[in-house]
């Protein structure tokens, strides 16, 4: 079975035969010898185009660049790799700016060519898999910026699909930076309330003296500075969704009032005596262990059970390192468009360092890092040397996992095995076939282990 379909546009017959020989048995190949015929190959839906920049009739680089534009317009998801002459670096960079996945200079190195094309094919499949997965999860609205194809993320998507159409209160747990508000937005958009308001509140940012007013509103004169009546977040979310982030920081008095609202869907504004009824769906998020808070007496037990109807846990980034190449691609393209910068490649060494990083700030940390690199790095490739000092030791040998009290030998071995696999996949830029070769595994062994560990 071949790795994918490659369309080659090259008029040099000798070079074309050389490339065909290098790809024989590895890819299904179709060919064309000029730009017009090459553009027609789009209809065959190849995984990747390999094009020379100097094509008939003019044999000027603009022929290849125009072909690249045409391919990107018709199939923006197809990867394009360009071939350039030894002294045509500026045209290669222009091709990357126009959306080429990669380039290499002639003469052709067969091993390098196979590696680049393999990475391009795998990347297209990963992107397509992620798109299909999100489309399948909700017919009402795609999940937008939630990116991931790992087993933990697949499980999360399935849970969102199940609970979104209901009015059940959902407790979203996860470390800081994992994307709790994105999950809340996805639940709202895939619900019958999607056309109504989504109101997000950061509970930790509410001053204790004003928290009740912010949530439930106040009447004129209720306190110093209340010069007019004002609705609270609950009223603003009527018939929609209210998202309370960092719920563990709510004061005892607000917890008590929140419990009453959940039970009766009614409340009074601060300083008022008129009962207000609301129809809302409540989503709550926290990065703390609410059960420990209950045991410590800082969070109401009855409120905890009200909030804990359905719990969705977002895995930290270190538990889904197989998603890092996808996330890097997503943020690279996002920040490139936002800041008007060309899209740059991340070297295998940089991705290897990412796989070994603990990511205490999770996806938010990765997003900010990719933005910084987009702005600061001038070369066409972002390498390990461009990364902050905290990544300097990330590429060292995989350390044996430290013993955990009560952990069995099989559990310790499994943790080490998963870490070894994750790093090998990152080092191979997400190409699992290459990672398998690096680890001395055959295809079936690799598939089994990736399924086992959700990679």
Residues 436, 347: Cα–Cα separation, whole Å: 19
Q: What is the pLDDT of residues 336-384, one digit of tens each?
A: 888 988 878 888 888 888 988 889 899 999 999 999 999 999 888 898 8
Per-state percent for the chain, helix, strand, coil, to nearest 5: 50, 15, 35
Q: What is the pLDDT of residues 212-241, one digit of tens each?
A: 888 988 888 878 777 888 888 998 888 899
Token couple for 364: 């938010």
- Check: CATH 3.40.50.300 for 138-315? yes
pLDDT, residue 138, reads 41
pLDDT, residue 451, reads 78
pTM over 0.85: no
pLDDT, residue 81, reads 92
Task: Name the CATH code of domain 5-132 (choices 3.40.50.2300, 1.20.120.1780, 3.50.50.60, 3.40.50.9100).
Answer: 3.40.50.2300
Helix (H, G, I), strand (E, B) or coil at 414: helix
- Whose tokens are 């000029």? That residue is 34
Q: What is the pLDDT of residues 6-50, one digit of tens each?
A: 999 999 999 999 999 999 889 999 999 999 999 999 999 999 999
Considering only residues 96 and 408, tell me which one the structure prediction assigns the higher pLDDT. 96
Torsion of CA 285, 177, 174, 160, to 10 degrees: 70
pLDDT, mean over the chain = 84
Q: Which band of pLDDT confidence, cut at 50, 70 and 90, is reported for residue 399?
A: very low
pLDDT, residue 396, reads 47
Give me the sign of the Cα torsion angle 372, 373, 379, 380. negative
Q: What is the pLDDT of residues 100-111, one digit of tens each?
A: 888 888 888 888
- Check: CATH 1.10.8.60 for 318-453? yes
pLDDT, residue 89, reads 78
Residues 422, 319: Cα–Cα separation, whole Å: 9
Q: Are 314 and 172 in contact (CB under 8 A)?
A: yes
Q: What is the pLDDT of residues 435-446, one digit of tens each?
A: 777 777 777 778
Find the helix packing angle between 432-439 and 409-427, rounded to 10°: 120
Enumerate residues 6+ apart whose C-beta is below 8 A from 337. Answer: none
Q: What is the pLDDT of residues 268-280, one digit of tens each?
A: 888 888 888 889 9
Token couple for 366: 């990765």
- Any idea where the domains of the chain sit in the sequence? 5-132, 138-315, 318-453
Query: Measured between alpha carbons, how far is residue 112 from residues 117, 210, 228, 366 in Å?
Result: 9, 62, 70, 29
Give me the sign of the Cα torsion angle 104, 109, 112, 117. positive
The answer to whether 5-132 and 138-315 have equal CATH topology is: yes
**What share of the chain has pLDDT > 90, as a percent?**
33
Asked if the model's pLDDT at residue 402 lies above 60, the reply is: no
Residues 373, 378: Cα–Cα separation, whole Å: 9
């Amino acid at each position: 079975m071949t790795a994918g379909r490659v369309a080659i546009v090259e008029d040099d017959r000798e070079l074309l035969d050389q490339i065909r020989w290098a790809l024989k048995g590895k890819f299904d190949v179709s060919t064309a010898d000029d730009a017009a015929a090459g553009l027609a190959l789009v209809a065959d839906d190849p995984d990747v185009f390999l094009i020379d920049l100097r094509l008939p009739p003019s044999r000027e680089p603009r022929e290849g660049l125009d072909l690249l534009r045409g391919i990107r317009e018709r199939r923006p998801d197809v990867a394009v790799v360009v071939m350039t002459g030894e002294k045509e670096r500026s045209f290669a960079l222009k091709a990357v700016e126009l959306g080429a996945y990669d380039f290499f200079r002639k003469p052709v190195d067969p091993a390098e060519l196979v590696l680049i094309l393999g990475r391009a094919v795998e990347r297209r499949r990963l992107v397509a898999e992620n798109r299909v997965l999100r489309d399948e999860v909700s017919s009402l609205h795609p999940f937008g910026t939630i990116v991931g194809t790992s087993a933990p993320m697949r499980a999360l998507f399935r849970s969102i699909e199940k609970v979104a159409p209901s009015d059940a209160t959902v407790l979203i747990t996860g470390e800081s930076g994992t994307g709790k508000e994105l999950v809340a937005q996805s639940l709202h958009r895939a619900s019958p309330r999607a056309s109504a308001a989504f109101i997000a509140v950061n509970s930790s940012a509410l001053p204790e003296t004003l928290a009740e007013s912010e949530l439930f509103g106040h009447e004129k004169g209720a306190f110093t500075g209340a010069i007019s009546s004002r609705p609270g977040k609950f009223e603003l979310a009527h018939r929609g969704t209210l998202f309370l982030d960092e719920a563990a920081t709510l004061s005892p008095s607000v917890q008590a009032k929140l419990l009453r609202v959940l039970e009766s869907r009614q409340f009074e504004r601060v300083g008022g005596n008129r009962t207000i009824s609301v129809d809302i769906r409540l989503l709550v998020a926290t990065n703390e262990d609410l059960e420990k808070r209950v045991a410590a007496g800082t969070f109401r037990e009855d409120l905890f059970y009200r909030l804990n109807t359905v719990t969705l846990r977002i895995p930290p980034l270190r538990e889904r390192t197989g998603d890092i190449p996808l996330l890097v691609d997503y943020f690279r393209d996002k920040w490139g468009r936002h800041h008007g910068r060309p899209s740059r490649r991340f070297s295998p060494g940089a991705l290897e360092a990412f796989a070994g990083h603990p990511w205490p700030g999770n996806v938010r940390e990765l997003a900010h890092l990719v933005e910084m690199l987009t702005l600061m790095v001038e070369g066409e490739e972002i390498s390990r040397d461009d990364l902050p000092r905290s990544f300097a030791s990330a590429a060292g040998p995989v350390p044996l996992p430290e013993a955990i009290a009560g952990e069995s030998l099989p559990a310790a071995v499994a943790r080490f095995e998963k870490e070894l696999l994750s790093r090998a996949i990152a080092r191979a830029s997400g190409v699992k076939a290459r990672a398998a070769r690096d680890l001395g595994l055959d295809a079936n062994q690799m598939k089994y282990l990736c399924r086992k560990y959700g990679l």
